[in-house]
Amino acid sequence: MVTVIMTAILISGCSRGFVSEEPGKTPASSLPASGIPASGLVQSNTGGGVTIEVKWLTERKEALVFDVAMDTHSVDLDQYDLKELALLQDSQGKEYRPTSWESALGGHHRRGILTFAIPDSLSQKTTRYLKLTIRDVAGVKERVLQWER
């Protein structure tokens, strides 16, 4: 019986195909459609005992998606709603509010998906950067994370 189960697992894994990624490389399927930002996919900010790390995940049909991780040893992160506290701005000064913030509660370690409508300047490749500002987390008035084109 164990042999049958192990064989089924191996066949299942092989039929899907395994993709070997080099360490530190992002799979091509998760790269932004308009290319990798010159400043890299991940930006971070530390202050007030909280580290916020944001990864540019993808540009879907009508959404710009970021993976946000917040970590601390001293602050309850469940009180922060990034749909209310985040703002995206392009190099022309146009501002975009999040369309959604999906995150489970996590206390001192919280991770979620922050989504925006695709800025016209991004789809038209006219912006030099996108700047994400997260306000009022752990006593830090503004945390600015910026992706250069």
Question: What are the mean pLDDT values of the chain's consecutive 10-residue runs (149 residues total)?
Answer: 37 29 35 61 95 90 92 94 97 97 93 94 91 97 94
DSSP string, the chain: -HHHHHHHHHHHHHHH---PPPTTPPPGGGS-TT---TT-SEEEEEETTEEEEEEEEEE-SSEEEEEEEEEESSS-GGG--HHHHEEEEETT--EE--SEEEE---TTEEEEEEEEEPPHHHHTT--SEEEEEEEEETTEEEEEEEEE-
Which residue, chain included where needed, has tokens 């987390």? 137
* The predicted structure's pLDDT at residue 91: 95
Predicted TM-score (pTM) of this structure: 0.74
> Which domains are present in the chain?
32-148 (2.60.40)
